[in-house]
Structure 1
């Protein structure tokens, strides 16, 4: 009888484990290539509320999850600015979003975001993900973490996810400009290659 009870218990454990594994397998954490993204409405450093739908003439977006204090994000500030300068006139503006919680990571308050944007003269929106929901919806895990979106009919489709380029710290050693390549491909009706790369940076603090 004792052996039967043990066998039943083991069987129950295996069934529960199988269900849990199946559930994990079907769980989707963030957007993937080809997904249509939802819109958002976040506060910009100039005090305005910004949504992707505000940019009626845009062909797509370069959405960058970044922040004030991460050394990797700091090392990429000029490159993010360069992307906006290069591609906003072509219909792909940069939209930067700070997902960090200032109560967890010092230096990430909205006021400090305003100070940084002013000192660096950002030409793109720098939005505060105050409820720390948008980064999770996208599946962003690092700063910086980039998503290139393309307008298709009434939707925005994910075309690239990952790093800005292949040199996370030193801009002088870049050999492959992943985001720039992706946007140029879209502008020329070509396939994006690669569609994904590994985002390297600080973990999001939220």
Structure 2
């Protein structure tokens, strides 16, 4: 009985510590290359040789919540690109299910909203799966560590007021970038984002 208890205790401790390690494990993002509707050219993470990090925002053409952020994203891009932090927007919506998310419609949106950043099409949804993106808009901050790997340092909402930006009290995305630029730990590394769900190809549900 005593021997069984010892085995059970050791197993429990191993499970707890392995779960803790998994929870605290840094998530890295590998290089990717996607076509931009902004310039009609291919864009890769590796193209940005001097980048300290990236702001990656999942957007869509149709989603009402995503539409609120076009102007703010242009402003964010203008603020940080000269500091070595580049904004990349990605559309990973299933074009087979939603005709409004086509590359042609992406080009139209990019032009009408005057995007100053690449608006990339993740046609096969592989990059969205890598990020584990769930909805639009959803923002990620990935930062280079000493080994040159891109580590996810923030994920979630851009801020806490989509419709009235002047009333936003928490600027989660830019706060995270500012802290990283100042070599500080990100205070809020995750927040809840709201918008239209990204349904991966093969799912039967439809976007709201």
Classify the TM-score, shorter chain: 0.7 to 0.9
| 1:112 paired residue among 82, 105, 118 | 105
Deviation at 1:33, TM superposition (A): 7.2
- Cross-structure match for 1:37: 29
Deviation at 1:36, TM superposition (A): 1.5
Structure 1 unpaired stretches of 5+: 1-21, 27-31
How many residues are paired up? 178
CA radius of gyration, larger in: 1
Q: State yes or no: 1:202 paired with 2:193.
A: no
Distance between the aligned counterparts of 1:118 and 1:71, measured in 2? 18
Deviation at 1:204, TM superposition (A): 1.1
- Cross-structure match for 1:3: none
Flag the structure with more relative contact order, 1 or 2, with Cα contacts below 8 A and sequence separation at least 6: 1
- Cross-structure match for 1:145: 138
Cα deviations across residues 103-146 of structure 1 (Å, max 9, x unaligned)? Answer: 21231110110111112221111000011111111110010111
| 1:83 paired residue among 58, 76, 82 | 76
Q: State yes or no: 1:103 paired with 2:96.
A: yes
1:169/1:34 CA distance change after superposition, 3 Å: farther
Question: Are the equivalent residues in 1 in contact too, given 2:91–2:120 (CA < 8 A)?
Answer: yes
Q: State yes or no: 1:157 paired with 2:148.
A: no
- Cross-structure match for 1:53: 46
Deviation at 1:62, TM superposition (A): 0.1
| 2:160 paired residue among 163, 166, 191 | 166
Distance between the aligned counterparts of 2:29 and 2:144, measured in 1? 10
What do you get for the CA RMSD once the two structures are aligned? 1.9
Question: Are the equivalent residues in 1 in contact too, given 2:70–2:115 (CA < 8 A)?
Answer: no
**Which portions of structure 1, spanning 4 or more consecutive aligned residues, are displaced by more than 3 angstroms?**
none
1:166/1:178 CA distance change after superposition, 3 Å: same
TM-score by length of 2: 0.81
Question: Are the equivalent residues in 2 in contact too, given 1:33–1:158 (CA < 8 A)?
Answer: no
Secondary structure of 1:53's counterpart equals helix
Secondary structure of 1:107's counterpart equals helix
Distance between the aligned counterparts of 2:199 and 2:99, measured in 1? 10
| 2:58 paired residue among 52, 65, 82 | 65
